[in-house]
A and B are shown apart, each in its own frame.
Chain A
Amino acid sequence: LETVRKLVCIVCPRGCAIDVTMDGGEIKSVRGFTCKRGEAYARTECTAPTRTLTTTVRISGARLPMIPVKTKTPVPKGKIFECMDAIKDVSVSAPVHVGDVLLRDVCGTGSDIVASRTMAKTVR
């Protein structure tokens, strides 16, 4: 049985409307994308959806108490809350440089948690 999944692409702010025709778990056709990234997004979204997770972790010795972080690569959508749970327990000390790995292979996703910004060590 063929079904059509209607998606709005989230790769960029353009928000293309993409129709994916599925037959069971198999993709039959993808229509409506306007770039390669959009097509790739539609294919993953219908088979194994992923998201880049962005959040914060505690930092000591910096001007602010939190440092923003992200998953270096997208993680399975179904594992987002599990990842949040794991990240909650991470805490780091300044200085931290943008891109520094703060947690390896979060929840077995193969993706590292990296710092989204540099924070210098300061006297608080």
Chain B
Amino acid sequence: MNTLQKDLVVIGGGPAGMAAAIEAKKNGLDDILVLERDSELGGILQQCIHNGFGLHIFGEELTGPEYAGRFIDELEKLGISYKLDTMVLSIAPDRTVTAVNGADGLMKIKARSIVLAMGCRERTRGALNIPGSRPAGIYTAGSAQRMVNMEGFMPGKKIVILGSGDIGLIMARRLTLEGAQVRMVCELLPYSGGLTRNIVQCLEDYNIPLRLSHTITQVHGGRRLEGVTVSQVDDSRRPIPGTEEYVECDTLLLSVGLIPENELSKSAGIALDPVTGGPAVDELRQTSAEGIFACGNAVQVHDLVDYVTEESRIAGRSAAMYVLGKGAKGETLKVTPGERVRYVVPQTIRRGDGAKLFFRVTNVWKGVTIEIKLGDKTIYSARKLKVAPGEMETVELAPEKLASGGGELTVSVTGGE
């Protein structure tokens, strides 16, 4: 068996992994290895051919492949090594990474630091318990996206989409452009989980109906999907009898949420946040295991790749500092979600450091105040026109704000309607 030693092993060659590796290199690490299970770098961006990426990081609007391409070019230029078609099997708590590929066989890599950048996976039909048969023609929106944009075939002709997450909205437009008839997008909640701009440019532009407070209560068909029953739901998300409508379709796409992928984190004994599904991290993106950092959609599902890049740069820099013996020490403050807040990342902050807080709210509210307390003392307060679960909120906390006072940091959303 091959045994290697590395200063930094990055698990995943998507936008998170590439940004982390590049930033670690720029901060003084040379001995870096990126492990990617796909046959090319770039991760999910390679199938996200639509534009809208990069406004924050590059100040221009790029497609997914263009955004990925810039990082691939930089990674190559910096001479950072990577292995493709390589599956990481486990990570031991002592930071030994076990991986396998066709060229090297089984490898044990002793890493002085690790960045976890595995991204996330889509929730599937199994997570929803939709009654009915199990015909062909039911896909997650992301699988359909890969089929259409990379492999060049259509999943079907008459399409119903369940879930109004961004991938579902993007696919509604994409399939319409390719000649399919997208009959409707159904959303269980009374509001969309996607970005408002995607409702406008993907649905309204093409007159695709968005049915809020609707779900699919029956799947029909034998070998192939023939139709679905769509029902309206009440305030507690239960189907309302008598509202059933049969909609003929040969394809059902599910865009019903993403789950951070953390089997490897679990193998390393890393503590996960039960709400995000990702590792609980500090402001440096260090996990509960010393020397193991995490970033991107493996930590929390981001709305924008620009934020993934930003977070991953922190993780990459922190890994470099750790290996170079400049890791941060000091008292940590616990960060907890308060009223109307579902989760906050990072979950802990060192007193001497500032941090940008990322959080999501539990519902849609207008005219609210975002308030952060350290113990009983309010250290941040700002008005916000509108908050929604589909749009991640951020607050930059300067180190001075945390200089005095004790207790936990609590992020809440108050007031408004």
Q: A interface vs B, CB < 8 Å? A: 7-13, 15, 51-56, 58, 63-66, 68, 70, 77, 80-81, 84, 98, 116-118
Contact = CB atoms under 8 A, between A and B. Distances in A.
A70 B51 contact: yes
B46 A117 contact: yes
A7 B46 CA distance: 31
B205 A64 contact: no
Nearest to A64: B150
B61 A52 contact: yes
B177 A84 contact: yes
22 contacts: A7-B200, A11-B61, A11-B197, A12-B55, A13-B55, A13-B195, A13-B391, A15-B197, A54-B49, A54-B51, A58-B152, A66-B150, A70-B51, A80-B177, A84-B177, A84-B178, A116-B49, A117-B46, A117-B65, A117-B66, A117-B68, A117-B69
B196 A65 contact: no
Contacts of A8: 196-197, 199-200
A66 B149 contact: yes
A104 B319 CA distance: 46
A10 B152 contact: no
B150 to A, nearest CB: 5
Nearest to A45: B200
B52 interface: yes
Contact of B201 (A10, A55, A64, A84): A10
Contacts of B69: 98, 117-118
Given A10-B197, A54-B63, 9 more contacts: A8-B200, A11-B197, A13-B52, A13-B197, A55-B49, A66-B150, A68-B64, A84-B177, A117-B66
A7 B391 CA distance: 19
Contacts of B65: 68, 98, 116-117
Nearest to A87: B177
B49 A56 contact: yes
B195 A56 contact: no
Contacts of B46: 117
Query: Which residue of A65, A98, A116 has the most chain B CB atoms within 10 A of its CB atom?
Result: A116
B304 interface: yes
Nearest to A12: B55
A51 B39 contact: no
B402 to A, nearest CB: 28
A58 B304 CA distance: 29
A98 B66 contact: yes
A13 to B, nearest CB: 5
A13 B304 CA distance: 8
Given A52-B61, A116-B49, A77 B40 contact: no
